[in-house]
Amino acid sequence: MDDNLEQSERLAICDAILSAQLPGYEEIDVLLLEGMNRRRQIEAERKSILARTRVDFSLLDDVGDDNA
């Protein structure tokens, strides 16, 4: 959670609207689903980038020591 008081208040209001299914809750629900999908996308992109930049340092042991 963030220390931002305004953001915390907004989240609490949205939570109350969703819980009580007050008018407009469908719109909040759609926005939440979009946000969750976007977070999954970002996480998948980060994992893909990490996989492409992984280095196998065990290959360095196979080179040998030419300075001896």
pLDDT in tens, 17-62: 999 999 999 999 999 999 999 999 999 999 999 998 888 777 777 6
pLDDT of residue 25: 97
Residue 16 in contact with residue 23, Cβ under 8 Å?
A: no
Asked if pLDDT for residue 2 goes beyond 60, the answer is no
Parse the chain into domains and list their residue ranges.
24-52
pTM of this prediction? 0.64
Residue 3 banded pLDDT, cuts 50, 70, 90: confident
Q: What does the pLDDT read at residue 60?
A: 76
Q: How many CB atoms lie within 10 A of CB 14?
A: 16
